[in-house]
Structure 1
Amino acid sequence: MKVVVAGAGRLGTQIAQVLGSARNQVTVVERDEDRVGALRDRLPAELVVGDACEPAVLEGAGAHAADLVVAATGADEDNLVVSLLAKRQFKVARVIARVNDDENAWLFTSHWGVDTAVPSAAPLVSLIEEATSATDTVALLRLSKAGVNVIETTISPLSRAAGQTLARLAVPAGIVVTAVVRDGEPLVPAPDLELRAGDELLVVSHTATETEVHAAFQ
């Protein structure tokens, strides 16, 4: 699946991490050059500096051949413009847009090219379910094309993983931590990274269940 994500904030980087790890072709468009530089080697995605509200930038990012566009910027007006361009100019089959302000939710309809509007408070799992048309009811994603399970778990103050490095944790075989999000910023899941309460982990596995993953980190 070819995916274009507009916005490299917390939500944009998370969805790029998950879909890219599942071997989808992902391109992220972000106007902040410093932000792009910081993420350059951290995401399994192509990063493009530019304003996704400009047709030429979207086209350069591959919108003309995209199966999915995710408008995930922090500005509702930008997400609406990106959605409209994706649907009307580039004929993208599926467009998902983030709603930052609930009062603007009524605008996020097919009139603006939005197939699915996702509230900013919705968990990552809900957004990926929409992106992949999944219907998993236990918050466990099964990305059918890759046969990969993607599970989101948060380290609590009582988690045995708090204060431990990834290398010291005994986790079931086949589990790979693809991202650690701390205070809204993605971190490289290096073996010596010490986990803290509040860290959000994205775990990819072909075999482990949600229960096994939560047991490993809680």
Structure 2
Amino acid sequence: MRVTIAGAGAVGRSIAGELLENGHEVLLIDKAPKAISVEGVPQAEWLLADACEIASLDEAGMQRCNVVIAATGDDKVNLVVSLLAKTEYGVPRVVARVNDPRNEWLFNEAWGVDVAVSTPRLMSALVEEAVSVGDLVRLMRFSQGEANLVELTLPPEAPLSGARCGDVAWPRDTALVTIIRGNKVIAPQPDDVLQSGDELLFVAAPEREEELETLLSVRQ
């Protein structure tokens, strides 16, 4: 898979390193000469250019990319890169970094964003996830499809503790994707039995979150 990352700061370089280790081709673009640190990620391709300019994206071969990651520290730049990648080059998957949570509402399909990643919101959600049992925690929003990745740790008194996954009438537009039990990651099957303490990860439509929390919590 070929991935272009706009923004070669600490975030962009870290993402590039992970993707390269997984066998992907990576191009890092940045307009600041001091950000071009080839020795930091020597396996990547590098381009000193403004990712908001069509000429730069042409030079980068954006039409050959499978994924574009807008990872700069400027939300305006990330939105422009996302929009150009999707509308001008038809990139199948666009992931954008949200620096200011107040701007998160802009990072949607209209701006070409498939997945918006808000670092402050994600860190806050992970803190909530670590201390919350029985409360639904939103971890990530998927712009395309209007769905969220949400988590709930099943409390001991929950009515569904001991129920088979296949017997539960889950809300519409909701899918249980993973059960984390101790150090095990379980791909849920109909015969799997829910246990108190299970960390349940769902992809759910936003309007179904309250219904899902009511179903799983002890407050019914």
Could you tell me the TM-score, scaled by structure 1's length?
Answer: 0.55
Partner of 2:38: 40
CA distance in 2, matches of 1:137, 1:118: 22
Relative distance call for 1:49 and 1:65 in structure 2 (3 A) is same
CA distance in 2, matches of 1:90, 1:76: 20
Structure 1, gaps ≥5 residues long: 128-134, 141-218
CA distance in 2, matches of 1:2, 1:11: 18
**Which residue identity does 2:10 align to in structure 1?**
R
After superposition, residues 119-134 of structure 1 pair within 5 angstroms as: 119-121=118-120, 122=122
CA distance in 2, matches of 1:24, 1:88: 24
Matched residue SS, 2:46 = strand
Matched residue SS, 1:91 = coil
After superposition, residues 8-47 of structure 1 pair within 5 angstroms as: 8-36=8-36, 39-43=37-41, 44-47=43-46
Matched residue SS, 2:35 = helix
Structure 2, gaps ≥5 residues long: 124-138, 141-176, 184-220
Tell me how far 1:63 sits from its aligned partner: 1.0
Q: Number of matched residues?
A: 132
CA distance in 2, matches of 1:137, 1:63: 37
Matched residue SS, 2:103 = helix
CA distance in 1, matches of 2:53, 2:47: 13
CA distance in 2, matches of 1:9, 1:60: 20
Q: Which of the pair has more CA radius of gyration?
A: 2
Partner of 1:69: 68
Relative distance call for 1:136 and 1:55 in structure 2 (3 A) is farther
Question: Is the 1:68–1:95 contact (alpha carbons within 8 Å) kept by the matching residues of 2?
Answer: yes
Where in structure 1 do 4 or more consecutive aligned residues deviate above 2 Å? 120-123, 135-138
Tell me how far 1:58 sits from its aligned partner: 1.4
Tell me how far 1:25 sits from its aligned partner: 0.7
CA distance in 2, matches of 1:10, 1:120: 13
Higher relative CO (Cα under 8 Å, sequence separation at least 6) belongs to 1
Q: Deviations over 1:30-76 (max 9, x none)?
A: 1111220xx21221211100110011111211211100000000000
Computed over aligned residues only, the root mean square deviation of the Cα atoms, in angstroms, reads 2.8
CA distance in 1, matches of 2:81, 2:74: 11
Percent of matched pairs sharing the same residue: 42
